[in-house]
Every structure is written in C-alpha cells, then in structure tokens.
Amino acid sequence: MPETRTYGRRRRQLPATTSTTEQAGFEAGKREAVSGRVVATGAGPTQMAGWDAMDKTAAASGGDMYLKVTEDATVIKICGDGPFDVYNSHWIDEIEDGSKSVRCWGNPDCPLCQIGDKAKRFSACFDVISLEDPDTPVLKVWEAGIKIARQLKDIANDAKRGPLNRADLYFTIKKETKKKSVEYTLERVKERDLYEEYDVEPLTDDALNAFLAECHQWGDVVKEKLDEDAMGEVVDLVMED
C-alpha cells in the first residue's frame, strides 16, 4: 500500500520510492558485506532482505529498532565494516503531523536546498548488536553523527585498529549533555577485556552469526526520499512563511 504522509492539514498518498545513498565521506566503490559477498554501492532499489531484517529487528525489540545512546556506556558490536546508509536530512518545523525530518536529495537536485533550507543533520547508519542487557543482546540500527562517523572511519582504515567488524573488537558509546550541546564518547574494547571492564561476556560464534544473517546490506536505506510531489508540498509549506 502507498504510504500516507500528512503535512499540515493536507494529506497525500505517496507511492513507495527508491533512493540513492550518499557516501558523505566514506570510501566509494564497492564494499564487502558481512555475509562475505561484495555488493555495489550507489543507486539501486532497497534490498528487500534488509527491510525484512529491519521488521524482524523492530519486532524483537518492541518496535524500537534504533540504538538509544545514554549517559551510561553501552557495549556494542558493530556488524559491518562500514555504514549501510549515509544521508543528510532537513528539519521542517512547518510539518504539523508526521516526521519533521526529510531526507535531503543532495545538491544540486534537492528542492529544499534550492530555496535555502540547509540540511542540518548527518546520519551514518550501522547495524550493531547492543549488549546493554548482556543476557539479552539485541540487533539495533545506530544512527551516528558526523564526529563519531569520522572516528569510525579512521579506525576502519587503520590496519592495526580495524576493521570495525573485527572478531575481537567491541565498542562502548555514551553521551554527555553540556548546557545546550550533547557530546558522544566512543571507545574501543578488546574482547579479552569485556568481562573484566564491563562484566559482559563476548558473543558466541553461533549468536554472532545469527545476528549477522539479519543485517542490512550496503545500499539499504533507513529513511526513504520523498517523491517529487511530496517534496513540492514540503517546499510549499516552507515558502508560505
């Protein structure tokens, strides 16, 4: 069925759309998926296997598929060697009903960019296994901002520290609120130190492989681009002010 989006008091039936994925600083070309296959980057339809995995993940975690970063350090295992989706988004306050976040089409094609509305948020999306509850690991989607994404890129490209999905490598992530800003802290953790430092047992090979089978492939998207009609409607809302 087409997706129903409501902007202000207006309602429009939108057909499902496909989108291109922008690297935004990560190496272009081809990327080895966690399954061992090599998949092409760039334009292409959403991989249905990835969406099926997303549905399973959401169902398994009570409908909450996103990693929630808190003030307490959460141990995570990154499943892939890079993000499966990278994008910028606009924040549109004029949208009264539904998500105010709109995926940017990218310059020079984005109608919102053309009218001077700057895309304010960067997202690099990773599949991670959250060990917040060590007895119940859960597959989550982690939307990392630009600062953390650059740290992850540096680690991924470092022969001594990477790749991100190295068998003996885990991470912790936490946030700290300072006045009106939020700072995130990422730390690498060796598998041998997990229990001593965080009272967390490493994942077994069977458990890890089961999670990897549910992961997205490069090119899957978290937030679909609006089609031309819907984007035009959003532009009209912004221009009305």
CB of 66 within 8 A of CB of 141?
A: yes
Q: Are 103 and 145 in contact (CB under 8 A)?
A: no
Q: Is the CB of residue 132 less than 8 Å from the CB of residue 152?
A: no
Look at residue 4 and tell me whether its pLDDT is greater than 70: no
Q: Is the pLDDT of residue 41 over 70?
A: no
Q: Which of 88, 93, 108 is nearest to 237 (CA)?
A: 93
In this model, does residue 116 exceed pLDDT 80?
yes
Statement: residue 40 has pLDDT above 60 = no
**Cβ-count burial 44-70 (b if 16+ within 10 Å, e if not):** bebbeebeebbeebbeebeeebebebe
pTM over 0.85: no
The average pLDDT across 114-125 equals 93
Of the ranges 34-38, 41-45, 170-174, 233-237, which is most confident? 170-174
Q: Which residues, at least 6 apart from 39, have a Cβ–Cβ distance to it below 8 Å?
A: 30, 31, 33, 217, 218, 219
> Is the confidence at residue 225, as pLDDT, over 60?
yes
Q: What is the pLDDT of residues 77-109, one digit of tens each?
A: 999 999 999 999 999 988 888 788 999 998 888
**pLDDT confidence of residue 32:** 30
CA–CA distance, 158 with 169 (Å, rounded to integer): 13
Cα 31 to Cα 45: distance, rounded to the nearest angstrom: 17
What band does 175 get if pLDDT is binned at 50, 70 and 90? very high
Q: What is the pLDDT of residue 74?
A: 96
80 and 127 Cβ atoms separated by less than 8 Å:
yes
For the segment 73-78, the average pLDDT, to the nearest whole number, is 97
Using CB atoms within 10 Å of the CB of residue 111, give its burial: 0 to 12 exposed, 13 to 18 middle, 19+ buried.
Answer: middle
How high is the mean pLDDT of the chain? 78
Per-residue pLDDT at 241? 59
Instruction: Tell whether the model's pLDDT for residue 43 goes beyond 50.
Output: no
> Domain count of the chain?
1
- The pLDDT > 90 percentage for the chain reads 61
Q: Report d(CA 18, CA 110) in Å as an integer.
A: 15
Residue-range definition of the domain harbouring residue 36? 3-240
**pLDDT tens digits, 193-214:** 999 999 999 999 999 999 999 9
197 exposure class (CB count in 10 Å sphere: 0-12, 13-18, 19+) = middle
- pLDDT at residue 157 is higher than 70: yes
